[in-house]
Amino acid sequence: MDAVLRRLQLLLMLAPVLFAAHIAEEAPGYVRWFNGVVGHGLAEHGFLQANITPLVLTLLIAVAAAWMERLPVAYLMLAWLTHFMFANAIYHIVATIVLRGYSPGTVTAALLYVPYFFWFVRYLRERYRASWDVIVLITALVGLPMYLQTYMVVFRHTRYF
pLDDT at 50: 92
CB 125 within 8 A of CB 63: no
Domain count, the chain: 1
- Residue 150: inside a domain: yes
- Residue 120: inside a domain: yes
Any alpha helices (H) in 13-131, and if so which ranges?
A: 14-26, 30-38, 47-68, 71-81, 88-98, 106-108, 114-128
- Residue 161: inside a domain: no
pLDDT (tens digit per residue) in 68-124: 999 999 999 999 999 999 999 999 999 999 999 999 999 999 999 999 999 999 999
Question: Percent of the chain scored above 90 by pLDDT?
Answer: 88
Q: What is the mean pLDDT of the chain?
A: 95
- Residue 93: inside a domain: yes
- Residue 133: inside a domain: yes
* Choice between 55 and 8, residue whose per-residue pLDDT is larger: 55
- Residue 135: inside a domain: yes
| Distance between CA atoms of residues 69 and 127, nearest Å | 9
- Residue 143: inside a domain: yes
pLDDT at 161: 67
Range of 94's domain?
3-156
| Distance between CA atoms of residues 83 and 23, nearest Å | 15
- Residue 92: inside a domain: yes
CB proximity list for 5: less than 8 A, separation 6 or greater: none
CB 85 within 8 A of CB 117: yes
Its pTM stands at 0.94
